[in-house]
Structure 1
Amino acid sequence: MRLRNIIIATVLTPLFLVLLVVSLVAIVSLEDNLRTKLQSEVQILSQAIGTSLGYALTQETPREAVQESLHAAFSFHRIYGAYVFDTRGDKVYGLGLGETLFAPEEIRAVAESGEELGEYRQHERWSYYSALVPLTTPGGEPRGVLQVNRLNTGVENYIGFLSLVALGAFLIAAVGIVAMIWWGFRRHIERPLERLLAVMERVGSGERQRRAEVEGPAEYRRLSLALNEMLDALAEKDADIEARRRKEIALERRLRKSRKLAELGVLAAGVAHELGAPLSVIDGQAQRLERRATDETQRRPLARIRGEVARIVTIVRQLMELGRRHNLELAPCRLDDLVRGAQALIEGGEAIEVDLPEPPPTLMGDEQQLTQVLTNLLHNARQASPEGRVRLSARVVDGALCLRVEDDGPGIPEAHQGRVFDPFFTTKPVGQGSGLGLAMAHRIVSDHGGSIILGDAELGGAAFDLTLPLDSET
């Protein structure tokens, strides 16, 4: 059941019923009071003139005496008929209206019983209240009966009609009040509730940014504000949950990547260990043959063999580093010292744009390994853009150091972006890269409790974002 119907059924209807009963009781009480007043007036007048009429009937000429007494009675207002009857019911004398309201038998019965009789009687188109009063001598001997007729006034005649009119007016007023209450409820209660409900339904259907309009009565403004605050709090919770979910996904990816690198590192370390001895033999034999060579034609192939062996040895060493579990030698490291150390190891490092906060922050880490990370990233950036711009920028956010290395080179194709930290993956030509630099950087940063991701470069090329904690809890 709707709220307005509940209010009408439980509040207005009982209220109107109570008012109707009270009104009917008031009308009935008014009618009874009018009738009682009418009866009292007739009884008082009858008793007032009854004594003189009883005495008049004892006179020698009762008609003249009765006539004189009745004329005196008509000096009272509201008397419309007065008649005197003997004990047999025959009229002695009378004046006014309503002579035939009572039959002779009724008159004789009053004379014999000595008790008064008062009734409402209808004669022709008039309504009367008529009383029969026994007339006695001072000694109590019945002499006749007095009939006094009182004609109902306009109010008394139309009391029933007025009751119907009052009832009709009450019903019309009740209907009007109900209509006004229904309209006011519809405009000021139901419509604002429907607007709030519509907002909640839209939010439930997915429009999370939908908010209620703060308007209307004070209660609805407070309700709208509370609803909006609740929706804002839910939106903040959803955003926090989404951020946590993304962090968990990123952490899971990092864990998978670290696990993969660790597994590959163990395998690579075993392979590197097995390749170390044969490579040493090959390099030694090539060196011995190179010394015995008599001309340049013989030395050139041997030198190439030794160069390739040296490259293999470098790769083997990197594989062993990748698979080895390092103990971090943590110490305070100034960021500007790390950057200068990396620049010094790169050809053209002085041309790199550096944007560091002032004063440069200090972090706890292994200086040698962190320098190796920056060297690899800056070296890759210089190779991607030999004559272009390379920029290293840093900022501190929520207790963490955020580093970005970017260039204006061609960037990394979208198809390769998910594999840049995989061992042996490289976009460089054969012989110019082993594909282990970024894998090593990822392992070192992870060992420091940080993260490294591929981002979007403002310069147009590739960008790598590093996040390292500034405290010592790694």
Structure 2
Amino acid sequence: MKGRILSGNLRRVLLVRVALPVLLILALILSAGQTLISNFIEERMQRDLQLVARAVYLPVSHAMARNDLEQMQSSMASLFGMTEVYGAYLFDAEGQPLISFGVVNPTQKQAEDALQKTLAGEFDQYERIRGRDVYSFFMPMFDAAGQPNGLLQVTRRHSDIGEQLKRLAYGSWAGFGFISLLILGILVLTHQGAIGRPLERILRSIQRVEAGDHGHRAAVDGPSEIRQLAAGLNGMLDAIQQAEAREQEQRLAREVIAERLRQTETLAALGQLSAGVAHELGAPLSVVDGRASRLQRRLQDDRDIHELDDIRQQIARMASIIQQLLSYGRSSRAKPRPLDLAALLRRSQSLIAGEGFDVEVESGPEAMLMGDSLSLEQALINLLRNACQACPEGPVRMHWKLDQKIHVYIEDAGPGVDPGLGEQIFEPFVTTKTPGQGSGLGLAIVKRIVEEHGGQILVRRSELGGACFELVLPLETPEQEVYA
């Protein structure tokens, strides 16, 4: 039973565990108070009867001394007329009734016993007279010599006292019932206002979070305990959200690490492949190119010479692809040295001009960087070549600026790079050129070289309308000799 009560709702627990003990204590106090009040009322009603008897004692005593029967009857009649009196009786010294007023009269035996008891003075008792329960008060009568010469008995119905006490009990318990209901009602209302509604709001907040609204937080209001509960719930939700965010970040970090590991493995595999291709194809291609050159010098037919020239061009293309594979799979082993940025860009412009491409280089602030000039030149030439091939009619522009780092921009007015490709254009064998126009290794080589120099490469839309490749490189202030 106790377990079922404790498992009920908070309102029931409050009523059973708080209100009920309080009401039980109040009931015990009321019961004890009723006992005290009942005793007081009973004593008061007895005392009232005794006062009535004492009020007629002197007139009756004087009348007995004079043997004035008429006066005795008059005095006794006035006594019986009072509402507190149920019966009034006067006996002589032998217990013989002289005057009786009442529904029932005491027996001779009761009168004689009462006379014996009054020898010690006044007394009272509850007794039964001819089947009626009464309360009797006895007063001895004395003659002029001080000798007992009679007995005055005044009675009151016991039921009068009982009914008075019963009315008191009924009224007390009725009032107690009303007060109990009032207390229970106040407890229910105050519980609903101070505890029930705040707890219901917290429960609704929990249900919203359970339904998927993870950003919801409970309102911190109500009594201090409810506020602490709401604050604790919000803190727990914040901690869970932070843990989920950390888990998400860790998951993304693991994915990035896994992707980098895959790329590293791909680079390693490409490096091995490049070394094998260079070893297996480099020498045969050189032999084929040498023999084609000798045949070209001996032949006289222009058509045969032209066909051999086409063969040598394809051999050169194959050699270029092999060289790109070697460049992609092989890191620079040159010792970094301080380089003048402007001279490096001008030299790259000159080299690409030798291939028949025109590039505009805008002047910029002086800057130095640490690196391998040959590798950086290769990266710049690859970017410039791509820009010129994408925009044969121009313009192609190269410029730079400084903040905490060096920012080199290569822009063209060509079709640009599809935004959907994103970082994929820097992966090996990914190209936007038509088949046969590129190997897809140029930008991958550029990215490798830039990252080897501690930088990064970005691509976005150019102000010229085409693509803009941005090289971000560390800015150095060399203390040694600067190499152009």
Q: Is the 8 A contact 1:258 1:446 kept in 2?
A: no
Q: Say whether residues 1:436 and 2:446 are aligned partners.
A: no
Q: For residue 10 of structure 1, what is the aligned residue in structure 2?
A: 17
Q: Say whether residues 1:266 and 2:272 are aligned partners.
A: yes
Q: For residue 252 of structure 1, what is the aligned residue in structure 2?
A: 258
Q: Deviations over 1:93-142 (max 9, x none)?
A: 36xx6463644432222113446333388999x99743133445698865
Q: CA deviation at 1:249?
A: 0.9
Q: Is the 8 A contact 1:330 1:364 kept in 2?
A: yes
Aligned mates of 1:313, 1:13 — CA distance in 2: 100
- 2:149 aligned counterpart, secondary structure: strand
Q: Is the 8 A contact 2:348 2:380 kept in 1?
A: yes
Cα gap change, 1:448/1:119 in structure 2, threshold over 3 Å: closer, same or farther?
farther
Cα gap change, 1:341/1:4 in structure 2, threshold over 3 Å: closer, same or farther?
farther
- 1:429 aligned counterpart, secondary structure: coil
Aligned mates of 1:20, 1:151 — CA distance in 2: 30
Q: Is the 8 A contact 1:401 1:470 kept in 2?
A: yes
Q: Say whether residues 1:243 and 2:243 are aligned partners.
A: no
Q: Is the 8 A contact 2:430 2:441 kept in 1?
A: yes
The residue identity in structure 2 corresponding to 1:195 is R
Aligned mates of 1:189, 1:342 — CA distance in 2: 79
Q: CA deviation at 1:269?
A: 0.9
Aligned mates of 2:344, 2:38 — CA distance in 1: 111
Aligned mates of 1:401, 1:151 — CA distance in 2: 120
The residue identity in structure 2 corresponding to 1:198 is R
- 1:83 aligned counterpart, secondary structure: strand
| Correspondent of 1:37 among 36, 44, 52 | 44
The residue identity in structure 2 corresponding to 1:173 is I
Which moves more between the two structures, 456-465 or 256-265? 456-465
Q: CA deviation at 1:316?
A: 1.8
The residue correspondences of 1:54-453 to structure 2 (distance < 5 A) are 57=64, 59=65, 61=67, 63=69, 82-93=88-99, 98=102, 100=104, 102-114=106-118, 116-119=123-126, 129-135=135-141, 142-149=148-155, 157-213=163-219, 224=230, 227-228=233-234, 230-294=236-300, 296-327=302-333, 329=335, 347-350=357-360, 369=375, 372-373=378-379, 375-377=381-383, 379-381=385-387, 383-384=389-390, 409=415, 411-412=417-418, 420-444=425-449, 447=452
Q: Deviations over 1:51-95 (max 9, x none)?
A: 8867875x462646756876998999977864322255433236x
The residue identity in structure 2 corresponding to 1:286 is A
Q: CA deviation at 1:371?
A: 5.5
Q: CA deviation at 1:34?
A: 1.2
Q: Is the 8 A contact 2:49 2:154 kept in 1?
A: yes
Q: CA deviation at 1:169?
A: 3.1
Q: CA deviation at 1:164?
A: 1.4
Q: Is the 8 A contact 1:261 1:439 kept in 2?
A: no
Aligned mates of 1:337, 1:224 — CA distance in 2: 67
Aligned mates of 1:364, 1:235 — CA distance in 2: 45
- 2:306 aligned counterpart, secondary structure: helix
- 2:90 aligned counterpart, secondary structure: strand
Aligned mates of 2:394, 2:222 — CA distance in 1: 63
- 1:100 aligned counterpart, secondary structure: coil
Cα gap change, 1:372/1:39 in structure 2, threshold over 3 Å: closer, same or farther?
farther
Aligned mates of 1:309, 1:157 — CA distance in 2: 133
| Percentage of identical aligned residues | 35
Q: Is the 8 A contact 1:424 1:434 kept in 2?
A: yes
The residue identity in structure 2 corresponding to 1:315 is I
Structure 2: unaligned runs, 5 residues or longer = 1-7, 477-484
The residue identity in structure 1 corresponding to 2:114 is V
Q: CA deviation at 1:273?
A: 1.9
Cα gap change, 1:169/1:438 in structure 2, threshold over 3 Å: closer, same or farther?
same
| Correspondent of 1:25 among 32, 37, 47 | 32
The residue identity in structure 2 corresponding to 1:324 is R
Q: Deviations over 1:158-213 (max 9, x none)?
A: 44224313322322332233234223323442233222222223223322223334
Cα gap change, 1:176/1:421 in structure 2, threshold over 3 Å: closer, same or farther?
same
Q: Is the 8 A contact 1:34 1:156 kept in 2?
A: no
Q: Is the 8 A contact 2:218 2:230 kept in 1?
A: yes
Which moves more between the two structures, 147-156 or 190-199? 147-156
- 1:85 aligned counterpart, secondary structure: strand
Q: CA deviation at 1:302?
A: 2.9
Structure 1: unaligned runs, 5 residues or longer = none
Q: CA deviation at 1:277?
A: 2.0
Aligned mates of 1:32, 1:245 — CA distance in 2: 84
CA RMSD of superposed structures (Å): 5.1
Aligned mates of 1:383, 1:9 — CA distance in 2: 89
Q: CA deviation at 1:466?
A: 7.8
Aligned mates of 1:338, 1:321 — CA distance in 2: 20
Q: Is the 8 A contact 1:110 1:132 kept in 2?
A: yes
Aligned mates of 2:124, 2:274 — CA distance in 1: 134
Which moves more between the two structures, 294-303 or 203-212? 294-303
Q: CA deviation at 1:256?
A: 0.2
The residue identity in structure 1 corresponding to 2:433 is K
Aligned mates of 1:291, 1:107 — CA distance in 2: 175
